[in-house]
Amino acid sequence: MSREITFKYWNEISEGDAVTSITMDVPFERVILDAAATQDYFPGHHNPAYARHQGQKEIYLNTMAIEGFIDRVATDWAGPHTFIRKRQMQMRSSIYAGDIIQGEGKVEKCYQDDGRYLVDVSINISTESGLCVPAVLTLELPAAQPS
C-alpha cells in the first residue's frame, strides 16, 4: 500500500507546529531484522539471555533502528526533499521486542544560517512505559515551493 507523500517548504513552517505522529509495532521479527539490516550482531539485539544478563528485560532495538525511525518521523512530515543536517538523541530507556513505539514532535525553531533554510524539531520516541528516546533534529528544506 503506497503512502501519500507530503512536501513542506521552509516558509510554510512555524515554531510550535506539530510534527505528525507515527506508530510502529516492534515484534521480535523486527528486532532480528534490525540486527541483520544494520549488521549489528551485538547479542543484546538477538539473544534474550544476554539481554537479561545486561539487566534488560528483553532483546531491544539498536541505535541505528531508532535513528531510522526518528528520521522517518521527520521526513514523512517534512518531505523527502529534507536533508537532515544534525540529529541529537539520548537513549533513556530501551525499546524492547513486544513494544509499540510512537514518534511525535514539534517545531522548535525556524532560521537561516549560511544560506541554508533550517528547522529544528524535537521528536520524542515513546512506548507504553513512557519516553524512551528524546531527539532534536536540524532539517534543511527548500525555502519555498518553486513557482
Partner 1 sequence: MSEIFNEPFPLAYGTYEDAVKLLNKPGEKVVSEFSVNWEMIKIYCSMVEDGNPSYWDEEYANKQWGGIVAPSGLLLTWPMSLQWHPQKERKHYFIAMTIPLPGDTIINVATNTEFHRHLYLGDRVSVVDELTDVSEEKKTRLGIGHFLTTKAQFFNQRDQLIAVQTNSLFRYYVPEEES
Question: Residue 10 CB, nearest distance to partner 1 (Å)?
Answer: 16
DSSP state at residue 96: B
Residues 6 or more apart from 14 whose CB is under 8 A from it?
A: 107, 110
Q: Using the rule CB under 8 A, give the single segment among 13-21, 33-41, 107-115, 119-127 that binds partner 1.
A: 33-41
Phi, psi of 18, rounded to the nearest 5 degrees: -80, 140
Q: Are 10 and 117 in contact (CB under 8 A)?
A: yes
CA–CA separation, 21 and 106 (whole Å): 10
Question: Residue 114 CB, nearest distance to partner 1 (Å)?
Answer: 13
Please work out the total of residues on this chain that contact partner 1, with binding judged by CB under 8 A: 48
Question: If binding is defined by CB under 8 A, does position 128 make contact with partner 1?
Answer: no
Among positions 10, 75, 77, 123, the unique one binding partner 1 when judged by CB under 8 A:
75
Rg, Å, the chain Cα set: 17
Q: Is the dihedral of CA 43, 49, 53, 54 positive or negative?
A: positive
Question: If binding is defined by CB under 8 A, does position 143 make contact with partner 1?
Answer: no
Q: To which residue does cell 510554510 refer?
A: 12
Among positions 94, 124, 126, 127, the unique one binding partner 1 when judged by CB under 8 A:
94
Question: If binding is defined by CB under 8 A, does position 68 make contact with partner 1?
Answer: yes
Among positions 6, 15, 81, 109, the unique one binding partner 1 when judged by CB under 8 A:
81
> Position 108: which residue type?
E
Question: If binding is defined by CB under 8 A, does position 58 make contact with partner 1?
Answer: no
Q: Which residues pair with 137 in a beta bridge?
A: 87, 121
Binding site for partner 1 (CB under 8 A): 2-3, 5, 24, 30, 33-34, 36-44, 47, 49-50, 52-56, 62-65, 67-72, 75-76, 80-81, 83-91, 94
